[in-house]
Amino acid sequence: MARRILHRLLTCDGCGDNILLPLEKLAQAFASQGVRTTDKEAIAAVCNRCKHVRNYDLANSNLSHTWGPLAYLDVFSGWVFVEPLKCADTACKASLPLFAIWNPAISPEERQAYAHTWKWDGVKCQGGHPIVKPK
Ligand SMILES: [Zn+2]
Ligand SMILES: [Zn+2]
Protein backbone atom coordinates (compact mmCIF):
# COMPACT_ATOMS: atom_id res chain seq x y z
CA MET A 1 0.00 0.00 0.00
CA ALA A 2 1.25 3.46 -0.86
CA ARG A 3 2.22 5.77 1.96
CA ARG A 4 -0.49 8.33 2.59
CA ILE A 5 0.86 11.84 2.81
CA LEU A 6 -0.86 14.69 4.64
CA HIS A 7 -1.24 17.77 2.44
CA ARG A 8 -2.33 21.37 3.05
CA LEU A 9 -4.86 22.07 0.32
CA LEU A 10 -5.13 25.40 -1.45
CA THR A 11 -6.57 26.52 -4.73
CA CYS A 12 -4.97 28.97 -7.12
CA ASP A 13 -6.48 32.47 -6.73
CA GLY A 14 -6.41 32.88 -10.48
CA CYS A 15 -7.52 29.69 -12.16
CA GLY A 16 -8.71 27.53 -9.25
CA ASP A 17 -6.28 24.73 -9.93
CA ASN A 18 -5.14 22.57 -7.01
CA ILE A 19 -2.16 23.54 -4.92
CA LEU A 20 -1.39 20.52 -2.77
CA LEU A 21 1.43 21.16 -0.34
CA PRO A 22 2.83 18.16 1.55
CA LEU A 23 3.01 19.10 5.24
CA GLU A 24 6.48 17.63 5.54
CA LYS A 25 7.72 20.01 2.82
CA LEU A 26 6.11 22.95 4.60
CA ALA A 27 7.74 21.90 7.87
CA GLN A 28 11.07 21.62 6.07
CA ALA A 29 10.72 25.11 4.59
CA PHE A 30 9.74 26.75 7.87
CA ALA A 31 12.41 24.88 9.84
CA SER A 32 15.13 25.92 7.40
CA GLN A 33 14.47 29.60 8.01
CA GLY A 34 13.73 29.51 11.73
CA VAL A 35 10.32 31.13 11.40
CA ARG A 36 8.81 32.09 14.73
CA THR A 37 5.49 30.48 15.54
CA THR A 38 3.88 33.90 15.96
CA ASP A 39 4.57 34.69 12.33
CA LYS A 40 1.85 34.29 9.81
CA GLU A 41 2.36 31.23 7.73
CA ALA A 42 3.01 33.13 4.57
CA ILE A 43 4.24 31.31 1.51
CA ALA A 44 4.40 31.83 -2.23
CA ALA A 45 3.27 29.17 -4.66
CA VAL A 46 3.49 28.81 -8.43
CA CYS A 47 0.31 27.46 -9.98
CA ASN A 48 1.13 24.59 -12.27
CA ARG A 49 -1.66 25.53 -14.69
CA CYS A 50 -1.60 29.34 -15.04
CA LYS A 51 2.05 29.74 -13.83
CA HIS A 52 1.18 32.69 -11.61
CA VAL A 53 3.31 33.14 -8.50
CA ARG A 54 1.11 34.36 -5.66
CA ASN A 55 1.13 34.85 -1.90
CA TYR A 56 -0.86 32.48 0.26
CA ASP A 57 -1.34 32.68 4.01
CA LEU A 58 -1.71 29.18 5.43
CA ALA A 59 -3.27 30.57 8.62
CA ASN A 60 -6.20 31.92 6.59
CA SER A 61 -8.75 29.13 6.45
CA ASN A 62 -10.80 31.07 3.88
CA LEU A 63 -8.20 29.92 1.41
CA SER A 64 -9.13 26.32 2.03
CA HIS A 65 -9.86 23.95 -0.73
CA THR A 66 -13.35 22.55 -1.31
CA TRP A 67 -12.02 19.28 0.14
CA GLY A 68 -11.17 21.09 3.39
CA PRO A 69 -7.90 22.50 4.68
CA LEU A 70 -6.07 19.18 4.94
CA ALA A 71 -6.26 15.76 3.35
CA TYR A 72 -4.30 12.55 3.08
CA LEU A 73 -3.37 11.85 -0.51
CA ASP A 74 -2.17 8.45 -1.66
CA VAL A 75 0.36 9.81 -4.05
CA PHE A 76 3.04 12.40 -3.70
CA SER A 77 1.60 15.53 -5.34
CA GLY A 78 4.94 16.71 -6.75
CA TRP A 79 4.82 20.00 -4.84
CA VAL A 80 8.13 20.84 -3.20
CA PHE A 81 9.87 23.68 -1.40
CA VAL A 82 11.96 25.39 -4.08
CA GLU A 83 13.80 28.19 -2.28
CA PRO A 84 13.37 31.05 0.18
CA LEU A 85 12.56 34.30 -1.65
CA LYS A 86 14.43 37.35 -0.40
CA CYS A 87 12.72 40.66 0.26
CA ALA A 88 13.66 43.52 -2.11
CA ASP A 89 14.23 45.72 0.95
CA THR A 90 17.72 44.77 2.12
CA ALA A 91 16.98 46.02 5.65
CA CYS A 92 14.13 43.51 5.90
CA LYS A 93 15.19 40.03 6.91
CA ALA A 94 12.00 38.36 5.73
CA SER A 95 12.21 35.39 3.46
CA LEU A 96 9.23 33.75 1.89
CA PRO A 97 9.26 30.04 1.09
CA LEU A 98 8.42 29.37 -2.56
CA PHE A 99 6.60 26.19 -3.55
CA ALA A 100 6.12 24.72 -7.00
CA ILE A 101 5.66 21.45 -8.79
CA TRP A 102 9.26 20.66 -9.42
CA ASN A 103 10.15 17.52 -11.28
CA PRO A 104 13.39 16.10 -9.82
CA ALA A 105 14.10 14.20 -13.04
CA ILE A 106 14.56 17.26 -15.28
CA SER A 107 17.88 18.94 -15.98
CA PRO A 108 18.95 22.29 -14.45
CA GLU A 109 18.46 23.88 -17.90
CA GLU A 110 14.89 22.59 -18.11
CA ARG A 111 14.23 23.88 -14.60
CA GLN A 112 15.48 27.31 -15.58
CA ALA A 113 13.27 27.28 -18.67
CA TYR A 114 10.29 26.31 -16.52
CA ALA A 115 11.04 29.05 -13.99
CA HIS A 116 11.12 31.59 -16.85
CA THR A 117 7.46 30.79 -17.64
CA TRP A 118 6.32 31.95 -14.19
CA LYS A 119 4.34 35.18 -13.91
CA TRP A 120 5.22 37.17 -10.80
CA ASP A 121 1.99 38.65 -9.59
CA GLY A 122 2.77 41.23 -6.92
CA VAL A 123 4.41 38.79 -4.50
CA LYS A 124 5.15 40.42 -1.14
CA CYS A 125 7.21 39.52 1.90
CA GLN A 126 5.65 39.08 5.37
CA GLY A 127 6.33 42.79 5.96
CA GLY A 128 4.38 43.81 2.84
CA HIS A 129 7.38 44.81 0.74
CA PRO A 130 7.62 43.68 -2.87
CA ILE A 131 9.68 40.63 -3.70
CA VAL A 132 11.62 40.78 -6.90
CA LYS A 133 11.85 37.85 -9.23
CA PRO A 134 15.08 35.96 -8.46
CA LYS A 135 17.73 35.89 -11.19
ZN1 LIG B 1 -3.66 29.04 -11.50
ZN1 LIG C 1 10.35 42.80 3.52
Is there a domain that residue 38 lies in?
Answer: yes
Q: What is the pLDDT of residue 69?
A: 83
Whether the predicted pLDDT of 35 surpasses 60: no
Measured from the alpha carbon of residue 101, the closest ligand is 1
pLDDT class of 37 with cuts at 50, 70, 90: very low
Measured from the alpha carbon of residue 94, the closest ligand is 2
Measured from the alpha carbon of residue 127, the closest ligand is 2
Is there a domain that residue 133 lies in?
Answer: no
Which structural domain range is residue 48 located in? 5-120
* DSSP for residue 46: E
In this predicted model, what pLDDT tens digit does every residue of 89-129 receive, in sequence order? 989 988 899 999 988 788 989 989 999 999 998 999 988 99
CA of 53 to the centre of ligand 1 (A): 9
Measured from the alpha carbon of residue 125, the closest ligand is 2
In this predicted model, what pLDDT tens digit does every residue of 6-31 receive, in sequence order? 999 999 989 999 999 999 999 888 88
Q: What is the pLDDT of residue 62?
A: 66
In this predicted model, what pLDDT tens digit does every residue of 48-99 receive, in sequence order? 999 999 999 888 766 667 777 888 988 778 899 998 898 999 899 888 999 9
The neighbourhood of ligand 1, an ion, using CB within 5 A, equals 12, 14-15, 17, 47, 49-50
CB 73 within 8 A of CB 23: no
Is there a domain that residue 131 lies in?
Answer: no
Cβ-based neighbours of 24, under 8 Å, separated by 6 or more: 5, 6
Looking at the DSSP assignment, which residues form a beta bridge with residue 73? 5
Is there a domain that residue 23 lies in?
Answer: yes
**Using only C-alpha atoms, what is the Rg of the chain?**
15
Q: What is the pLDDT of residue 32?
A: 73
pLDDT class of 130 with cuts at 50, 70, 90: very high
Nearest by Cα to 60 from 5, 102, 123, 13:
13
Please list the alpha-helical segments (H only) found in 2-120: 23-32, 108-115
CA of 11 to the centre of ligand 1 (A): 8
Question: How many domains is the chain partitioned into structurally?
Answer: 1
Cα distances (angstroms) measured from residue 87 to each of 49, 57, 124, 126, 133: 26, 17, 8, 9, 10
